[in-house]
Structure 1
């Protein structure tokens, strides 16, 4: 009940985020109770890194900026850990009654055992399927986290997998 997908390394920036956003909208429109979040990055141009916002599903009018502007040329981590943890808490508050949990990715925070890890574990423990993106860079950490529980999915099969996992929910 833990599905993950990757995309081609040469895919356009943000492609996995756009794919998950469309999927979450389509599944919700079909009547599935979907919890989680999708990420939206906004390019700032020039030498500036993008702004990163998390959109908690069901609270689309209240995006959470999870990036900090450190200035051009900076190389440090731009994640605003406090804002990210607030987003995780808001997702957790919407988990009750959900039939599916969609999360943007298994990233650096998750590779260190933080971030979405508690949500993933909680959802699986109560029988809620989880879907997320895992980049090639994070696959070893993801496997260390979930062992053989994760099911690799082709990007064009995500909707089908979600509907199979939630059969009878609609």
Structure 2
């Protein structure tokens, strides 16, 4: 099962990341076997874009910085794709035995067949429930990828959907 959520235009940037991090932390604190990764955005002040780091759930290593500084006035994508791939590689060994997989988002990299895309597919193929955020811009690509395996849930229902998956598995 693959659950996804999106936010509307009025939701502050970074809200999905905060929601997934809080969800993963809450479920792990209850002793539930959660794997995956969450993104944390570090505010650097009003004149600077935030730094992005990936926290691999269950991994003792430090968070991975997945953004790169492009300098003043830069307009390009700040994602460090090599660091994202490293985060995926560090996430994969933690999936076996997990009752739930949390993925930060199905973003541009996943839409292009990179990033967490293969890991999402493998978890679903292995029967593991996956929950993730899908930005509005990537919705069509995500639905092409997921087909009828995906179910959209409201952000307010994330926790109950996840707990229902654990209850169904026991």
Please, what TM-score do these two structures have when normalized by structure 2? 0.94
More helix by share: 2
Any gaps of 5 or more consecutive residues in structure 2? none
- Aligned residue for 1:91? 91
Q: TM-score of the superposition, structure 1-length normalised?
A: 0.94
Structure 2 residue aligned with 1:70: 70
Aligned residues: 170
Partners of 2:46 and 2:5 lie apart in 1 by 31
Q: Which residue of 1 aligns with 2:155?
A: 155
Q: CA deviation at 1:168?
A: 5.2
Q: CA RMSD in A?
A: 1.4
Aligned-partner Cα distance in 2 for 1:60–1:52: 19
- Which residue does the alignment assign to 1:19? 19
Closer, same or farther: CA 26–116 of 1 in aligned 2, 3 Å: same
Q: For residues 141 and 31 of structure 1, what CA distance do their matches in structure 2 show? A: 34
1:28-67 correspondence to structure 2 within 5 Å:
28-59=28-59, 62-67=62-67
Q: Secondary structure at the match of 1:157?
A: helix
Contact 1:43 1:49 in 2 (8 A): yes
